[in-house]
Amino acid sequence: MLIRRIKCLRYLGTRHNSSHYVTTPIFYVNAAPHIGHLYSAVIADAHCRYQRLRNPEKEVRLCTGTDEHGTKIQQAAALHGIPVAKYCDDISERYREVFRSASIQPEDFIRTTEERHKRAVAHFWRTLHTRGHIYSAAYSGWYCVSDETFLTDSQLRLDESTGSRYSLESGHPVEWTEETNYMFRLSQFQDDVRHWVKQEARIRPAKFEKILLDTLSEPLPDVSVSRPSNRVHWAIPVPDDDTQTVYVWLDALVNYLSSVGYPNEGYSAHWPPAQQVIGKDILKFHGIYWPAFLLAAGLEPPGQLYVHSHWTVDGQKMSKSKHNVVDPVQAARQYTMEGLRYFLLREGVAHSDGNYSHVKAQRILNSELADTLGNLLSRACAKSLNPGQIYPSANAEHLADLLQSLDAAKRLQDALLQLSERCASHYECNHFHLVADTAMAALHAANNFFESSKPWLLKAGAPEGNQPRLETIIAMTMDALRLCGIVLQPIIPQLATRLLDKLSVPTAQRGWNYLAESFATASPANLGGSRQLDGPTSALLFQRILEEKSVKEKEEEQKPQPAKRSKSKKKERRETMS
């Protein structure tokens, strides 16, 4: 575990340009955003927020956007009876909106229908062509329209009863297709791609490196990179040949270059991306095609691919036909967007699928954000204990005494002393669940300390002499809240801001280096005087989530109600009995 963490750190430390460029996949506009899409974006956003927090001088650049070409999108627009360009505008805007409400703050949001992108694709294509990596050939094979790709026999499942074939991976039907295409000489890049994949911490988590190496252990066939324009016309035309359009995956991958201004001068300041976040279903495109395309064009492939697994819902794959697709906007009505962000990063682990369930979300959010974090803030700010509404300073003598006489105080100190280093190494590896774990452990220690030190007794007796001890207890508790607030900023940016606002922590003191200043390190900055709490900000940080009505109850409610006999049977029975 430790070795893996150190490897992540080592990789990030060896980057050679000053920019830290991070990307999410660009999202298909054939359907509205769901929590799986949000997850890709939230990982990338939290990663960037941490990078900025840790190295304010570093230029961190996040790019996301929408993938708008291809048959799937053409078909979706037709199905809705909307002109395809308008359809793309609408869905793309929904992505922007969801990301905005989830505090995902990209430096750029790119759309593949933009002119700057089309120019980049044309330039990229010409580069590949001029360098001799693209040739024209008659091509025939099993083509999957939904996945926009040709599949080999080993990627197919034959339904014996109907004779139809389906993609093993996606389950979508395929059809035999014969056409003239432009082909990319993928086979020539097998060794280079393998070499790239095998670099330390290139593909994370490591299980996905293994998957790629397995694929690379078989000879790679050349890949078709164009389609006849009469079949796929909602696409970018192949330069100098309007009978063909550019394969949507080549088009889509180039977005990462278009966003930094390729081919104009200056794009290389950001190139290559430090980290590209992708879901496991698009590993082959990013882990094999993409580095091969880039190497063929004479460009450096990305520093790291960070691959995440998928969200299932109550144990099942999300799909429209199962009516179990979780809409982030609706989920946010129950949990708030910050709650949803926290749940996704807290519960999701990259190496295996996560299960989304209301019961789990409710349990985690109530116990961690409402009780462990929120409740402690309310207690430390309660007027009964803290009538002057201050963030007091710890009294050196009482602090020393508490640390010596109270185990819980010592445990809190230990937890806070480890917070910065532990969380940093978890963040470096995108292990957000472990950051949350570490912060929650520190907050548990703070709750324990607060309970064991019984500040209300000091208040109840209220002899004047107890005041410095009471203030020391509050100061220690507020320090714990402040440090955890700083640490949690990348995961729950809005809540952390509200917490730090409530504690009147100056904006300039919310950086990672301020984790070194607290009672735990006996840093002078912390012992040097109290400050007034931010009055108007509420101390109620996160409202508990109430029981959700069961699906059955909801269905009952939605049924047309019989004419007004409003008393329920139960009520009637109760009344009859009484």
Q: Which residues contact ligand MSP by CB under 6 A?
A: 25-28, 36-37, 39-40, 67, 252-253, 255, 278-279, 281-282, 310-311, 318
Amino acid present at 168: L
Q: Which residue is nearest to ligand MSP (CB)?
A: 279
Instruction: Give long-range contacts, CB 8 A cutoff, 24+ apart: 263-272.
Output: 263/119, 263/120, 263/123, 263/124, 269/17, 269/18, 269/19, 270/17, 270/19, 270/21, 270/61, 271/17, 271/21, 271/299, 271/300, 272/21, 272/299, 272/300, 272/301, 272/302, 272/303
Closest approach of Cβ 14 to ligand MSP, in Å? 25
Residues 297/254, Cβ–Cβ less than 8 Å: no
Closest approach of Cβ 25 to ligand MSP, in Å? 4
Closest approach of Cβ 132 to ligand MSP, in Å? 25
Closest approach of Cβ 251 to ligand MSP, in Å? 9
Tell me the backbone φ, ψ of residue 350, rounded to 5 degrees.
-65, -35
Strand pairing class (59-67; 27-28): parallel
Between 349 and 403, name the residue whose CB sits nearer to ligand MSP. 349
Strand pairing class (59-67; 223-224): unpaired
The helix-helix angle for 432-453 and 407-428 (nearest 10°) equals 170
Between 121 and 424, name the residue whose CB sits nearer to ligand MSP. 121
Between 289 and 449, name the residue whose CB sits nearer to ligand MSP. 289
Closest approach of Cβ 360 to ligand MSP, in Å? 15
CA separation for the pair 343, 441 (Å, rounded): 17
Closest CA to 67 of 34, 119, 111, 108: 111
Between 27 and 139, name the residue whose CB sits nearer to ligand MSP. 27
Between 321 and 568, name the residue whose CB sits nearer to ligand MSP. 321
Between 93 and 421, name the residue whose CB sits nearer to ligand MSP. 93
| Contact residues for 570 (Cβ-Cβ < 8 A; gap 6+) | none
CA separation for the pair 243, 240 (Å, rounded): 9
Closest approach of Cβ 34 to ligand MSP, in Å? 7
Closest CA to 272 of 305, 250, 224, 225: 305
Between 252 and 423, name the residue whose CB sits nearer to ligand MSP. 252
Between 36 and 468, name the residue whose CB sits nearer to ligand MSP. 36
CA separation for the pair 572, 578 (Å, rounded): 10
Strand partners, 61: 21
Closest approach of Cβ 65 to ligand MSP, in Å? 9
CA separation for the pair 184, 553 (Å, rounded): 56
Closest approach of Cβ 441 to ligand MSP, in Å? 27
The helix-helix angle for 337-347 and 35-54 (nearest 10°) equals 90
**Range 433-460 burial, b when 16+ CB lie within 10 A, else e:** bbbbbbbbbbbbbbbbbbeebebeebbe
Closest approach of Cβ 157 to ligand MSP, in Å? 21
